[in-house]
Structure 1
Amino acid sequence: MGRNAIIFHGTHAEPDWIWYPWLAERLRERGYDVDLPHHPGTDTDPIATFLPTVLAAHTFDEDTVLVGHSGGAALLLALLEHLDVTVAQAVLVAGYSTPPNDAPEPVLQDGYDWAAIRSHARQLVFVNSVTDEFGCDADQGRAMFDHLGGTLVVRDDGHFVTETLELVDRLIP
Structure 2
Amino acid sequence: MARRAIIFHGTTANPTVIWYPWLAEQLRARGYDVETPHHPGTNVEPIATFLPTVLAAHTFDEDTVLVGHSGGAALLLALLEHLDVTVAQALLVAGYSTQPNDGDEPVLQGSYDWAAIRSHARELVFLNSVTDEFGCDADQGRAMFDQLGGTLVVRDDGHFTADTLEIVDRLIP
TM over 0.5: yes
Listed one character per residue, the Cα deviations across residues 127-151 of structure 1 (whole Å, up to 9, x for unaligned) are: 0000000000000000000000000
Unaligned 5+ segments in structure 2 are: none
- 1:40-119 paired onto structure 2 within 5 Å: 40-119=40-119
Which of structure 1's runs of 4+ aligned residues deviate more than 3 A? none
Distance 1:138 1:12 in 2: 22
Q: With structure 1 as the length reference, what TM-score do the two structures score?
A: 0.99
Greater CA drift, 38-47 or 113-122: 38-47
Number of the residue aligned with 2:3: 3
Listed one character per residue, the Cα deviations across residues 17-73 of structure 1 (whole Å, up to 9, x for unaligned) are: 100000000000000000000000012100000000000000000000000000000
What amino acid is the match of 1:87?
Answer: V
Q: With structure 2 as the length reference, what TM-score do the two structures score?
A: 0.99
What amino acid is the match of 1:55?
Answer: L
What secondary structure does 2:42 align onto? helix
What secondary structure does 1:135 align onto? coil
Distance 2:43 2:81 in 1: 19
Distance 1:44 1:140 in 2: 21
Give the drift of 1:155. Answer: 0.2
Number of the residue aligned with 1:16: 16
What root-mean-square deviation, in Å, do the aligned CA atoms of Structure 1 and Structure 2 show?
A: 0.4
Please tell me whether residue 128 in structure 1 is matched to residue 128 in structure 2: yes
Listed one character per residue, the Cα deviations across residues 99-126 of structure 1 (whole Å, up to 9, x for unaligned) are: 1000100000000000000000000000
Number of residue pairs matched by the alignment: 173
Distance 2:86 2:117 in 1: 9
Distance 1:14 1:87 in 2: 23
What secondary structure does 1:145 align onto? helix
What amino acid is the match of 2:130?
Answer: V
Unaligned 5+ segments in structure 1 are: none
Distance 2:172 2:2 in 1: 15
Give the drift of 1:12. Answer: 1.0
What amino acid is the match of 1:43?
Answer: N
